[in-house]
Amino acid sequence: MRIIECNLPHTGPYTRRSKTTAVVLHHAEASSATVWDINSWHLKNGWNGIGYHYYIRKDGSVYRGRPDWALGSHAKGANDYSIGVCCEGAYMTETMPAAQLAAVKELLRDIMRNWGKLRLLRHKDVYSTDCPGARFPWAEVQEYEKEDDKMDEKTMREIARDETLKVLAEQRHKSVDEFTGRIHTELQALAATGTLKGKGGSEAYKGIDMTEDMARVLTLAKDYTDKVFDSE
């Protein structure tokens, strides 16, 4: 399945887990929150960035948090053996949308293919908490091996395209430094080829004329998105 790579900022290197025997499911306890919101909240907690390995939005888009192999910070007592998956939403009171439920199941199938058969747990199964909420569709999620609800490729591509454009739009409301930090790798590559006029090196974006060049970045990103997702 398609995982959106975010290159989220974190404060230091990750520690590798010694074993992986379970997946722990969470809700964000927020009706609407981006993966960058979660990362920011966790940084403010003094953590090494986002504590989850995956974050699933209500529209079914799936984001990479920490690398699969990294020690998480999502379930006290279970971090050293589990992969953490968090769903946008407040599932004490809300109902999970069908697109998100389908994405949860698809991600679980993908994780199990990569890591073998892991125990499927809720946060409340390993810690004293209500997470992932009384209305989290636990019974349906446990049937993740059934693929009858798997989203077709066209739907997945539409979600990925829309989410990419939405992310670009969200960035316009952020500071220049925060924006450029998030697309660090892309800006490095563009500066290296001369497309952007930054000073080059590992902090290529620091010398970019944001008035001219950011417009160019957004244009290139839009063109790239259209080519990738509208190529059929």
Kindly report, residue by residue over 159-184, the tens digit of the pLDDT: 555 555 555 555 444 444 455 455 55
Lowest mean pLDDT among 91-105, 128-142, 162-176: 162-176
Task: Look up residue 120 and give its two tokens.
Answer: 């499927």
Q: Which of 49, 79, 75, 76 is nearest to 64 (CA)?
A: 49
CATH 3.40.80.10 residue ranges in the chain? Answer: 22-141
* Secondary structure in 3-state letters for the chain: CCCECCCCCCCCCCCECCCCCEEEEEECCECCCCHHHHHHHHHHCCCCCCCCCEEECCCCCEEECCCCCECCCCCCCCCCCEEEEEECECCCCCCCCHHHHHHHHHHHHHHHHHHCCCEEEEHHHHCCCCCCCCCCCHHHHCCCCCCCCCCCHHHHHHHHHHHHHHHHHHHCCCCHHHHHHHCHHHHHHHHHCCCCCCCCHHHHHHHCCHHHHHHHHHHHHHHHHHHHHCCC
Residue 105 has pLDDT above 70, yes or no: yes
pLDDT of residue 34 exceeding 70, the answer is yes
pLDDT band at 95 (very low <50, low <70, confident <90, very high): very high
Strands 54-56 and 62-64, bridge-based pairing: antiparallel
Say what the pTM is.
0.66
Instruction: Give the Cα separation of 57 and 99 in Å (integer).
Output: 9
What CATH fold (topology level) applies to the domain 22-141?
Answer: Lysozyme-like (3.40.80)
Q: What local confidence, expressed as pLDDT, does residue 65 receive? A: 95
Distance CA 162, CA 62 (A): 13
Angle at 228 between CA 225 and CA 232, to 5 degrees: 130
Cα 73 to Cα 184: distance, rounded to the nearest angstrom: 25
Q: How far apart are CA 216 and CA 232, in angstroms?
A: 25
Mean pLDDT throughout 194-210?
Answer: 53
